[in-house]
Structure 1
């Protein structure tokens, strides 16, 4: 499977996982010139920017480890742009990471890190 389509599949799985936990979907793949936010969700009174990391295995480490300080800066930049574009004020913001482990056979596994950074 192509890397981009695998990533989009992981994002769809993460969205469903979060919706099953009571989150409300707002937007996906919000892009700026320097960043992309995978999912933007509503968790009650909190606006949540979600980075989704999909993997088949842990050969190259834990998926959350790929959300390094460089990546975090870009996600924050994108979140700032989203808030400005949508004219959102007086709203708490949180950054989460959802890891989607998709084995070659079997059901996907999820790990949700709230307040990841």
Structure 2
């Protein structure tokens, strides 16, 4: 039983990392310059930090292989938003960028029977 859960979690991690790489490529095509990926601190993690036009963008990537647990966008909960904001604040302080114009984007990747659907929500929260 535990072995099954371990393998399931490993597959989810691999899928998550693959989705983040797909997201990086997508954002680059949209004109984003990737500054950092997987920024971590005690407060949380930010998947992608990028420059886009005049903004420093903190981007959350959410991917779903199916809709069993809801859409990718539904996974961006108020609790997750709070952690992202706190982590962004930590990043800005550590990098001495407290006066930077910032934005929070969400990139969703949903696998459907019709194929993969990606949606970029700028200034999501």
Structure 2 length-normalised TM: 0.85
C-alpha distance in structure 2 between counterparts of 1:71 and 1:95, whole Å? 12
Aligned residues: 116
* Aligned equivalent of 2:85: 76
C-alpha distance in structure 1 between counterparts of 2:79 and 2:52, whole Å? 26
Please give the root-mean-square deviation of Cα atoms over the aligned residues, in Å. Answer: 1.8
* Aligned equivalent of 1:111: 119
Which portions of structure 1, spanning 4 or more consecutive aligned residues, are displaced by more than 6 angstroms? none
* Aligned equivalent of 1:15: 24
Gaps of 5+ in 1: none
Larger Rg: 2
> Which secondary structure state, in structure 1, belongs to the residue aligned with residue 96 of structure 2?
coil
* Aligned equivalent of 1:3: 12
C-alpha distance in structure 1 between counterparts of 2:86 and 2:107, whole Å? 19
Gaps of 5+ in 2: 1-9
C-alpha distance in structure 1 between counterparts of 2:82 and 2:34, whole Å? 23
C-alpha distance in structure 1 between counterparts of 2:28 and 2:69, whole Å? 29
Deviation at 1:103, TM superposition (A): 5.2
* Aligned equivalent of 2:62: 53
Structure 1 length-normalised TM: 0.90
Paired residues for 1:35-46 under 5 Å:
35-46=44-55
Judging by fraction of residues, say which structure has more helix: 2
